[in-house]
Chain A
Amino acid sequence: MANEQELVDSVEYISASEEALFARGLDGQLIRATDATLDDLDLDVQISIDGNPFAVKKAVPMRNSQGVILANDRGEIIPRPTTIYDAVNQLYVKALGDVNPIPILCHREHLQPVGVCRVCLVEIEERRASGRVKKDLVSSCTYLVKEGMIITTSASQDQPKTVDLIKNSVGIIVELLASEHLTRQDLDEVRNGLNKHDPNELKRLVAEYGKGDKIPRYEPSLLAGNRGQDLSSEIISVNHDACILCQRCTRACNDIKQNDVMAREGKGYDARIAFDTDLPMLESSCVSCGECVISCPTDALTFRTSVVEKQGKKILEQTRKSSGKDGTVVTAEEMLEIPIFSGIPYKFLQFNGGACVRRVLRPGESLCTVGEYGSTAYLIQSGKFEIVVGAKPQNQSRASVSKRPGFFQRALGLTSRSKRVPSLATGSDSGMPGMPGMPVTKEKLYRGVEDVILGEMACLNRQRRSATVVAVEDSEVIEIGTNVLYMLQRNATSRNVLNEAYRRHALNSDIERLPIFKELTPAGRAEAARIIAKDAELMSVEPGQAIFKQGEKSDDIYLIRLGYIKVSRKHGTREQIVSYVGPGAVDGASGAFGEIAALSSIYGSELKVDFDQLDYLPGVRTSTCSALDHVELVRIKSSQLKQIADANPDFKQKLLNRARSLLKKDTERESELSTGKSNFVNQGLYNAQSLLVLDLESCTRCDECTKACADSHGGETRLVREGMRFENFLVATSCRSCTDPYCLVGCPVNSIFREGSKEIVIEDHCIGCGQCATNCPYGNITMVGHQEGFRGEGNMQIPLIQQKATTCDQCKSIGGTPRCVYACPHDAAFRMTGDELEEAVLSRKPS
């Protein structure tokens, strides 16, 4: 019977006024629904963890599963309250190999916490409003930190009794789960010692926290072992008996992949995971992406052995083929021994067997070449590498490499006359990498084991490689695919390592080459790069997010490293797009924007006359800039720019002149706004490197393009003669080789990539999950079925159709000349960039 004080505490604990801050979860438990505020991001909360005084922020930025900080429409960071688990993580996990002492089962950093398993117990001491100090065991993944809270984890040295209490409690929980969901064989394994890399997290927890010889201490329910299996899927096996209902699979399916297939069904002991409306997995809308399997902490969801074997073979074949180099495959067990991979699920590494390859390089051997696209990064194991930024070997033009002579050329011996000029018809490019207008430097940098990783930039930003990497001594690397990098990003520690390396590489490689500094002397450029690299912020902006808004007061200047931004201005309630800009393409090819406000705030007196004439208020943004796609910016404070400009009077004068001309141009723009730009930007054409454009005035709708495509690709067309129209041009549904291809994001098996040149390639180990097709906003990826064996049902053999994503690779796989253009008899089909289309449209428009 609770005494009076406890009743007061319990009322205060979830008082009536607080009730609104809570909601009941599916299982009837109270879950927190407290919204954090932006101020909480800066507000310190003093707590004590295992006797160590520690200050944490009341809230942390909300991140998506890849660790990207989320922002709202106003560009403000979305905060979420700091949990005890976050705080303990901050205290204990600082470098690779550090471990959070709190055990977890239903929780993972990249998932929304739900607190269903209660394994992450810690003891807290907090002072209630009544003044009484109350101790409690709480789940750390959902419980929020409060001022003065004293937290004791199982790692505490000073509180052995509390540690025992926590461990006992965790032991009871995991043994109860084990009694219900582990098989006899599993329990024998636990008793006899587990394999170090056993993927079953419950077994590992039981081994660690279980008590005594008789594990588990509890009897299972009558339903244990009778919940059944779902073996309908060809890819995934479902064992309901092993399912602990931790909801990791449902959160992975619904929150991460947004497939919305899985949910919990039933109540009490009967509760289990279900697909759609409790259909067998095969008949549901499951896309077999495997996200649920790699999220499952038990053996409830596993890949079928035959699938793992088949997939491993395909990936290995592909890895060897695409790299053209020898290497030894790194097994999942070997990978998990490397600290940075320790957070990656075993099942993921197992399913992607063959994707990680160990390579040994001799001095002079190159790892990657500037200007080429790449889908792999290299973890440095030993040795030293020379990084040649910006320089591209003369003899490695992709255009000349990919140009395969035609029948007549070969027959007539005209093979040596291959053109290197960009061609409208073939869409081939001359392939110079990096930012337009950037001076190419031959600066040499060196990287070694301390730099952890190389080549990650091309994988993460999906752009061309910005440097050539050559081994200068005997070296060893592990080549990993983009999908492995994505998995590394889910874990804060490995993400920090990656981000640090990325920031260092990005700032070192690009700043000096930014077009805005091209007027400076080489020494001046180096000094400018030094000043900026010291304090500049590398920003990543998600599509649609505002960078700054019209009318705001701010004085930062932004340099675009990657992606495109939209410059718009409000006229009454209507927003009008003024222009779109990419790296090096900002007015006057400076590669920078936001200069007017920045320069006006630091050189207000020099520019006063001009401002007065144009009725401009110094330091105020004249337009809104927002990201059109994944944008990376270098934010420079105006004081840094002033420091550079003051040391270079000529540069300063040029900046001032530029500010005047930009301001004048801005004022003139008011009268020349049109809607043409909006359509162009809204349809994403700025992003296109190779549109299939049909001139509808010449096109006779003979479908020769489609037929040629189908004939050349095994009867499956990769283009559809339908799409958006611009004047008399039709942009057909066919891959446009976007500068920032959304389709490459999130492939679980890294089967879609760009290797070398701009064309998107989908390899045979595609598992047909449709992620790339969903990501492509232009519908240019289609799912096509290929028969892969049979399934025996009684005496019937039912054909198995494996879906695979298919997209136009501009006939790269069959010689490089797009057959659609080649086969058009009426010269109505073209491959062109978005800018070329805009030019063609404008030339046709009546003035």
Chain B
Amino acid sequence: MKSPFRPNDAPDASVLDVHRPLIRSLERRGLLRGGLTLGSLVMLTGCDVKRPEAVEAALLAISNLNDKVQALLFDPNKLAPTYPDSMILRPPKFNAYYDVTDVKPVNGATWKLELSGLVQDKRPWTLTDLQALPQSSIVIKHICVEGWSYIGGWTGVPLRTFLERTGADLRAKYVAFKTADNYPSSIDMAAALHPQTLLALQYGGQQLADPFGFPIRLRTAVKLGYKNPKWITAIEVTNTYPGGFWESKGFPWFAGM
């Protein structure tokens, strides 16, 4: 039986061939590439699907709108589910944009955390400095955009505490991170101030191991996994959109949960 959703006049299938280089360039496998079917392309109303830049602009506009809707729906007081210590996966799952053999361990003795932007006290922080701040522990689920997840136990300095201690402008829009593995990232201030957002120093009660971000990494329960940069070397508070590693390749920026 013919589907009631199938149009009587099928669109021109050559549209997919015309846009194949663009689709590949998006570097997104799976759902996105599958989502760019002939049907979804022609559903981009008001968009000339024969012009690749028009398709890209339309997708980006939808993604940006998606970010804004998620920001509107975000409840800064709502806590993500937590779990008992017995459910912590030890060791955690490694993931990066390269394999583990390419991890470059950071020397904690010489490491410093640089600060910039809308922060009153821009003194660099050492690991000892951070360890002296009040710590908090959370057992939360790490959810990757790839579809996998695990429960991890993290201890560290609440990012809110750190931002308050350094005199950051908490009305600023963004908190941006630079890392030793060249994985820039950024989150909105509301997520940065959420009680389940940490500058994590420990996993499962032990100092972070090298492949998991020693000496510090971000762990937030309110964002997808790719918004949790490891091996952080600098933090900037800013009102200028900072983007991020995957965001520059087309991933959504807000990535909330």
Q: Are A and B co-members of a single complex? A: no
Interface residues of A (CB under 8 A from B): none
Interface residues of B (CB under 8 A from A): none
